[in-house]
A and B are shown apart, each in its own frame.
Chain A
Amino acid sequence: MDVRSQISMVFHLDKCIGCHTCSVACKNVWTDRPGTEYMWWNNVETKPGTGYPTQWEDQEKFAGGWEKKNGTVNLRSTDRKRLVSNIFHNPHMPSMDDYYEPWTYDYANLFTAPEGPDQPVARPISRVTGEPIDVEAGPNWDDDLGGSPIYAENDPNLDGLTPEQRQQLFAIERLVFFYFPRICNHCLNPACVASCPSGALYKRGEDGIVLIDQNRCRAWRSCIAACPYKKTYYNWHTGKSEKCILCFPRLETGQAPACFHSCVGRIRYLGVLLYDAERVEEMANLPDSELIEGHRSMILDPFDPAVIEQAKRCGVHDSVIDSAQKSPVYKFVKAWKVALPPHIEYRTLPMLFYVPPMSPVMSQQNGDTVENLENGFFHDIESSRVPMKFLANLFGAGHEAKVTYALKKQKAVRWYRRAVTVGDITMEMAIQMLREADCTPDEAEALYRLTSLCTFDDRFVIPPAQREEALEMLEGAHEHRQSAGFGFRAGPRRGL
């Protein structure tokens, strides 16, 4: 057992309001420079929709992630060996058409336009060419079902729905959308790392954060093709690729990453998971239907004395073990099984998990009027507007059972809390609901509290970074204290 610690995340989609505050928080701090305009380390997508870059989930087109072949897993795109042959042509590389051409406006014209016969205006201007541009795409173009005939109807996750089901999804009876915020998943089996010919990508041992070394990157861009989530980006200005760094400078100082801190829907949780690194290859090789269970089984019980002992032996700091025991992520993912990884069939073993969203009850047309379907005070999840198959394609490698389980448990907790706080539902019935959902009153209470009453400190349990120990490997912490910040700032340079 090779016990390692990983900072992991849970996004509670039922609470997500699609505001994109997280995206702007990230952009303000990290990607507001030339070359990074189009980078959205954190973005929020409307589902159904095609996301950003558009159709990123279509691996036929982009060939990201791993595929299971001959008893092992291989990168679908290019690996180090094949890179050389494809060096000038990677057919799976997203182009500007898949992203968008960044633009601004000729704002100055409002101040400087000479008096004329008509009102001056600030026209859209390309950030690439500096010329006027007809804006045709952006990083959130299909927001809230905008352009649904083009985007939502072509969501790759609609695979497996009959044409009739698909059509119904855009009629009033079933019309629905929800939000899907995304950052780098900081995977256990990261395709980006594996794909880099320069060895510039690495996964930090102490916290599992995946980084691109801004000195070593040689702009092969193989990470961009390899990442099935399209969460690495090429900076055309510096000639280096960049990606979400999980705000490690903030984490190292005990602060939640910017997108987490700023999440005004309070949907985000962050904490340590201990896992068994020996089992990564084995898990990545499981059949689709077993991936979720297998992935979950790698996550170790931080209260188990054997795990603790082995963790210490593997160099995991006491404070990190302590942190893992308080981790809200552990509860959602492992203890309660209500948070699921996105597209685990890509086999990168993502360490970001989603609590699937509930949605309103379906309706039906009755002559001139529309009636909501009725089946109880809180409707059954089977009559939700979101088809289970669609959610299963996103969060269950196509299998509905895990998603249904997570939703049923959420629903049962609501019945239970209704019984506790109002009493128009009997406690007997509520307990029955819990039982059917594999939940106890104690668990329901805990799940409710972490969902509803959570404080900042409940949501973000950040392990102490013990930076003095890390620095000691280079220079004494005392010396570092004296000299920190002295020096001249210089960014990475192209090629070097």
Chain B
Amino acid sequence: MSKDAKIPWIADEVSPEARGWEEFYRNRWQYDKVVRSTHGVNCTGGCSWGIHVKDGIVTWEMQQVDYPDLEAGIPPYEPRGCQRGISFSWYLYSPLRVKYPYMRGALLDLWREARGSHDDPVEAWKSLVEDPVKRTRWQRARGKGGLRRTDWDTSLEMIAASNIYTIKKHGPDRIAGFSPIPAMSMISYAAGSRMLQLMGGLGLSFYDWYCDLPPASPETWGEQTDVNESADWYNAKMLAVAGSNLNMTRTPDCHFAAEARHNGSKMWVFAPDFNQVAKYADEWVAINAGQDGAWWMAVNHIILKEYHHEKQIPYFIEYTKEYTDAPILVELSPKGDGYRPAQNLRANRIANYKDVENGDWKFLMWDANDSRPRMPMGSVGHRWGTEKGKWNLKLEDGVDGSKIDPTLSFLDQNDGVVQVELDDFGEGTTLRRGVPVKKLQTVDGKIVVVTTVYDLLMAQYGVPRELPGQYPESYDDDLPYTPAWSEKYTGRGRETLLRFAREWAETALHTNGKCTLIIGAGINHWYHNNLMYRAGIHALMFCGCVGVNGGGLAHYVGQEKLAPGESWGSIAMGKDWYAASRLQNAPSWHYVNSDQWRYEKSFTDYHTVPKDQPANSLAQGHTMDVQVKAVRNGWLPFYPQFNRNSLELVGQAQADGAKTDDEIVQWVVDKLKSREMQFSVEDPDAEENWPRVWFIWRGNALMSSAKGHEFFLKHYLGTHTNTIAEDLAGDSLKEVKWHEKAPEGKMDLVVDLNFRMDTSALYSDIILPAATWYEKADLNSTDMHSFIHPLSPAVPPCWESKSDWKIFQEIARKFSELAEKHFPEPMRDVVAVPLAHDTPAEIAQPAIKDWITGEIEAIPGKTMPGIKIVTRDYRNLYKQFNSFGPLARDNGLGAHGTHYQIKDHYEEAMKKLPTEKWGGEEYLSLKEDEDVCNVILRFATVTNGELAYRSYKNMEEKTGMPLVHLAERSRSVEVSFKDLQAQPKRFVNSPMWSGLLDKGRAYAPFTYNVEAKVPWRTLTGRQHFYLDHPGYLQFGEHLPTMKPKPLPTEYSDLRFSKEVGKTMMLNYLTPHGKWHIHSTYGDNERMTTLSRGCEPLWMAEKDAVELGIDDNDWVEVHNDNGVVVTRAVVSARIPRGICIQYHSPERTYSVPKSPLRGNRRAGGHNSLTRTRLKPSLMVGGYGQFTYHFNYWGPTGVNRDTHILVRKCPVLKW
């Protein structure tokens, strides 16, 4: 500290007095405590935060950096947390905070009046909803201001009364709840979900509705989604990033990609625009939007030709034999003088295996040693057979256990080569290519022609193997699926593609599969997302990249991992009290109930399918008709289930003489067969089939996720809408009843729990003040990393807010109070449930047959939905809510097909944790938020090593493989909530998950399957290249393929919209944004200031010039569905023909009025979208094509939308 500065103007200030002022900033840095919490927001970030509290007020947050290290040689996780997360503290005391209960003024006035004349709140509610004038009064006011502060008692009473009224009048399945992504704050999710399930209401799915579920994952792996934790990117030596903007959406993880690059990994990025992650790439491929499928199809062409056919890389060949369905035999069915691929040949069609159990569900490989078909173990038929220990991936015969050496191709050893017809959807034609075959005699004496999946793939991908047919001669031939062919779609050159494919394969062969495809919404939100994904997945499978560290499909969009799934699932779905839950796939529910199906004609208008469809094919007609069929056949759920009250059926059946439960079920079946009773889905516009009460919490159901938002406003809420679309469907329907005029305002009551006034809150009838993530105890987990985090109250719930758990508990309390009078006795409820994945229903329907036509018997749980009877105890619902119930204690827990007993642990835990005593029994208490956390942690395998051990033990019996060693090291682990508050804890190995992560190993999916030879939960137990479901054959999606994007003219978003002034049509993309997580954070001052103060429309510079639009000008963006008015961001990084409005704006701030739509307030991004469902994804009861909540079903696609854009002529607020 030299005093004689050599630069005269640089004075060292050393006088302590003069530096006393420095206290000014030191004082600011003082705080009283730091509390660990995180953000229960749908980014799946799962970041550990220190919440700083000063003077009893939350002042700021800062990341915690105490994550335990992973294995040596992998960068650490610290810090985690992004620009959005760090802005959260702004909300707590902001003017956007919902501090008190609010109610729509019109409703509150009517309610007070009704309560004045009705002592019974249920009667009061009845008097309002049954009066059309009154009901319309508050419906029309929805979203239009006039909110009134009210109190908890009034709100709770109205909610409870509306529930009781609805249950009595229509049935409990008219009460719906929507809350997304439980993993982000699992107790809060469970709160509403549990209350609704105990009541008999329905829970709406989210993953598929958000279009984040990649259907290709269930199709290929029988797994909803399982992905690498982000640290595992570091193990990848080739990273292909497609449709996923890591910097934007995986902000805290992105460094692993950069750090991998500096460790010699190469990174390719595929994106139409020069986006943030393109900056990170070695090579940016500016692929045309939505054409990634063509790229990957051609990549596979090269990999198969060079590395499989020509070089026969041993690692690739062995992997393909052992872990995929490539060697499985497929029957070819004659067509003309050629053949078309048909279903896999079933084992019981061959004399040797004709009597095996579940022979329809066991499959064959050609054994190279014996030169005959052999039946390997591991198929779904083994999984659900009575003989245990044969559901594994050992290449051994399922009957005698002898070794099988599977033949991949009949190229060198065949009974001839036949011409097989293959679809070329791009050109709308078919190709014929030679395929080597074997001819087999089946038990009925016939000769069938078979080939391997591998040979079909070689033909489909167009690998020339000197076989006759329309094979390309070189990469420059414009035939599917050559590099030259792909250029037409991708706009990117063949040389680049060749280089990519070779670098990919070379990397994989040098590293045994360390190539990772990071993929997301940029691909998954298109109509044909599953085809694009499958093509990418095949490049991984062909190179042995799945189930290895640093390899595989890393799908990151809306994916989540609720790690302690078994105990949580029991609590959240009320399974500890009732065996049947009502879990609804939201895409179907919204498509049907918000009447969006009425605005389109046959799906083949925009969805290309093979010509010559049989009469009863699924691949034709209106999506709504397939939807009805799917419900009737048990493929998909639908609630309301019947056009009668489900609580009245048992009584009616008994009156008709039914005595046992079986007889009651048969009575229900008979009524359905005779059409005296119908599925609600057959006539969704009839008043008795409307959903009535809707709870929304932890999500923005009316804006961010409301595909077809304007139709929600119209048909659900009955308030103003900006849509100008007109009914189109009338003539193209067969199964569903058509009403000339669609109902408006189906919902009696919409209740929103929120900490901020978002669009959903603004349009709801009751807004309940919810505690923020810094004000409650909860749990958070993710698949981006392998730690589990607590949410903790840094301060108590502010003002009159409460935690979600406490709010639903209060509603349950009030409900049970009113039930004393209205439901004095337990009620028997008939619950219809779809055929479920991970149950024997996976082998229910070998063929598509519809009982309604009489072609097959109506058998619940087999050819139609399962029908269960449960007894609801509404008077004790509150007590049930607070008690971890007997079914969990006595029957044990499980998930994803696992199972373990917990009774001893339950009893042990009662000595330590709080309990509830009632009805002569004592239960573990779920009364306080922290109690729920502890019960979940105590009984889940990932946080209780002993239970993981047990679960592996159970799985050993099923598979016959040694597994318990995987849990040996972590047997003594037992994690409590307080432990998590002290430091993040890593999960332990569990058979519920497909990755292995002990000793600091980074989690990579399916390493368990590859290393322990536990089958995938698919038809053959292997990863599937080939999808032989009869519906897939009809749709032409049995083989990997490329279907063209729906054309804007055919997609019918622009039938009624008029061009006014200089206008341009653009493809409207809504990728995830930089300044918000969906809509959360986007409205806070930090994010609005750092962005443009609104959610602008990004446009190409040349498009803008043509329209006379300058940067920051207001633009009007419209189509038949609705209108958006926002500002333009003109940028060179956007290609022509597309525009981007990042997901998701709010209508609540900075949104002016629309001159084109009557000077009414313009909407948000979903004002321009409308739901379309891909009907092929509705099939069920068949291997991996079997329903599970958020696992299977059509998804809410939105990226094929087109809009018209013009400069907004006048700005009106």
Contacts and interface: CB of A to CB of B under 8 A. Distances in A.
Given A451-B259, A452-B263, A474 B16 contact: yes
Given A27-B1086, A370-B491, A203 B269 contact: no
A252 B1086 CA distance: 28
Contacts of A473: 16
Interface stretch (A205-213, A299-307, A322-330, A392-400): A205-213
A175 B1134 CA distance: 10
Contacts of B146: 113-116
Interface string A147-187: 11110100000000000000000111001111100000000
Interface of A is mostly: loop
A464 interface: no
A444 to B, nearest CB: 10
A492 interface: yes
A19 B1075 CA distance: 9
Nearest to B1111: A147
B1148 A146 contact: no
B76 interface: yes
Contacts of A29: 28-29, 60
A138 interface: yes
A85 interface: no
Contact of B83 (A23, A123, A410): A23
Given A122-B1150, A140-B1090, A148-B1130, A456 B60 contact: no
Nearest to A12: B258
Interface residues of B, number: 136
A182 to B, nearest CB: 14
Nearest to B255: A266
Contacts of A23: 83, 1090
A360 B278 contact: yes
Contacts of A366: 493
B251 to A, nearest CB: 5
Given A30-B28, A215-B21, A172 B1135 contact: yes
A249 B25 contact: yes
B510 A423 contact: yes
B1110 to A, nearest CB: 8
A453 B22 CA distance: 36
A277 B1150 contact: no
A374 interface: yes
Interface string A216-257: 100000000000000000000000000001011110100000
A183 B145 CA distance: 44
Given A193-B10, A262-B81, A115 B1132 contact: no
A107 B1149 contact: yes
Contacts of B1091: 138, 140, 143
A265 to B, nearest CB: 5
B370 interface: no
A485 B28 CA distance: 11
B94 A281 contact: no
B79 A20 contact: no
Given A261-B62, A261-B65, A265-B258, A121 B1149 contact: yes
Interface in A416-455: 416-424, 448, 451-455
Interface string A1-25: 0101000000000110111110111
A138 B255 CA distance: 27
A138 B499 CA distance: 43
A140 B12 CA distance: 35
Contacts of B246: 17
B7 A369 contact: no
Contacts of A414: 261-264
B95 interface: yes
Given A118-B1161, A280-B10, A417-B262, A170 B89 contact: no
A270 B1089 CA distance: 28
B246 to A, nearest CB: 8
A323 to B, nearest CB: 15
Given A138-B1090, A372-B283, A374-B495, A148 B1101 contact: yes
A470 interface: yes
A470 B16 contact: yes
A213 B379 CA distance: 76
Interface in B89-118: 89, 94-96, 102, 105-106
A489 to B, nearest CB: 6
Given A138-B1092, A451-B262, A144 B276 contact: yes
A361 interface: yes
Contact of B286 (A110, A136, A370): A370
A95 interface: no
B1147 A121 contact: yes
Contacts of A357: 279
A326 to B, nearest CB: 18
A381 to B, nearest CB: 12
Interface in B1-18: 1-3, 5-7, 9-14, 16-18
A368 interface: yes
B282 A360 contact: yes
Contact of A119 (B762, B1098, B1111): B762
B336 interface: no
Given A29-B60, A206-B1, A379-B282, A422 B264 contact: yes
A264 interface: yes
Given A102-B1089, A147-B1111, A177-B279, A110 B762 contact: yes
B21 A213 contact: yes
A178 B63 CA distance: 25
B62 to A, nearest CB: 6
Nearest to B1105: A149
Nearest to B74: A453
A42 to B, nearest CB: 12
A145 interface: yes
| B9, B28, B63, B1098 — most chain A CB neighbours (10 Å) | B9
A117 interface: yes
Contacts of A245: 25
B487 A369 contact: yes
B7 A280 contact: yes
A123 to B, nearest CB: 6
Nearest to A491: B24
Given A19-B82, A263-B79, A110 B1148 contact: yes
Interface string B606-637: 00000000000000000000000000000000
B285 interface: yes
B24 A492 contact: yes
A359 B281 CA distance: 7
B981 interface: no
Nearest to A361: B283
Contacts of B1030: none
Chain B CB count within 10 A is highest, among A135, A136, A361, for: A135
B672 interface: no
7 contacts: A24-B83, A104-B1085, A121-B1149, A264-B79, A265-B255, A357-B279, A372-B285
Given A110-B96, A363-B284, A370-B492, 10 more contacts: A103-B1089, A115-B145, A119-B1160, A121-B1149, A170-B1101, A177-B274, A249-B25, A261-B65, A277-B6, A453-B75
Interface of B: 1-3, 5-7, 9-14, 16-18, 20-22, 24-30, 59-63, 65, 73-76, 78-83, 85-87, 89, 94-96, 102, 105-106, 141, 143-147, 234, 237, 246-247, 251-252, 254-255, 258-266, 269, 274-276, 278-286, 487, 491-496, 499, 503, 506-507, 510-511, 720, 757, 762, 1074, 1083, 1085-1086, 1088-1094, 1096, 1098, 1101, 1111-1112, 1129-1133, 1135, 1147-1153, 1160-1161, 1211, 1213
Interface of A: 2, 4, 14-15, 17-21, 23-25, 27-30, 102-105, 107-108, 110-124, 132, 134-136, 138-141, 143-150, 152, 170-172, 175-179, 189-190, 193-194, 199, 202-206, 211, 213-216, 245, 247-250, 252, 258, 261-266, 277-278, 280-281, 314-316, 357, 359-361, 363, 366, 368-372, 374, 377-379, 410, 413-424, 448, 451-456, 470-471, 473-474, 485, 489, 491-492
